[in-house]
Structure 1
Amino acid sequence: MQQAPLPEWQTRSSNPASSITTRAHPHTASADTRHTYVTRLIESGYDAGFVSEQVGHSHAATTAIYTALSSEYKNLQVRQHLEAAEAEVPRLAFAQADLEAECDEKLASTLALQDTGSRRGA
């Protein structure tokens, strides 16, 4: 009788007469291997959802346990976010100045109309 095929992460004993199966699922990898794998994927820029899926987690918080990011990577991320924020400041300042100028123009126009209307009524 031929045995049904097993999922790729499950293997049978090397002895064909044996009915013992051995699991070789990603969760059976050593903790060091999982930490390294997850860390390298994250540091290489892979999406956290993809990394979670790769190691069989349904929640990113579980994957975070296996992440041991280097100080160099953390510093790089902080630097990139700070630079992005610094680049955003002038854009926001100019946008605010444009809005203020637009409001000033509308106010001046409204005041001019009111002044013209009050002169006609006098």
Structure 2
Amino acid sequence: RTINTLALQHSVPVNGYPFKKGKSSLVYTGDTGPCESLLTLAKSADLLLAECSFPAARKGIDYHLTSETVGELAQVANVKKLLLTHMYPECELVNIQDECAKKFNGMIELAQDLKRLNI
């Protein structure tokens, strides 16, 4: 099997990873800022497992996603479900899912250790 990755935007080299099985698709971002390659990678994914390091109030972040930027990206990419991970402690001070939902109309969940999802 082959995995075709795409380089994403970060302070060090990083890649995004798409996985497909049958008609189901999962895209994992790792650390990244908003970029065209992430939009390409996430296009029509059933599940986007994306970092969401900061709440929407943090502006001008180049190498990470905020709740607002990841929500907007998921909406534009026509993602079905968004699973948020890699949240810094300041994300606990707001409802990160509600912030994300201002830009994304699909389902939003927070990642948890050992959580299992059907795609």
TM range (shorter): under 0.3
| TM-score when normalising by structure 1 | 0.25
Greater helix content? 1
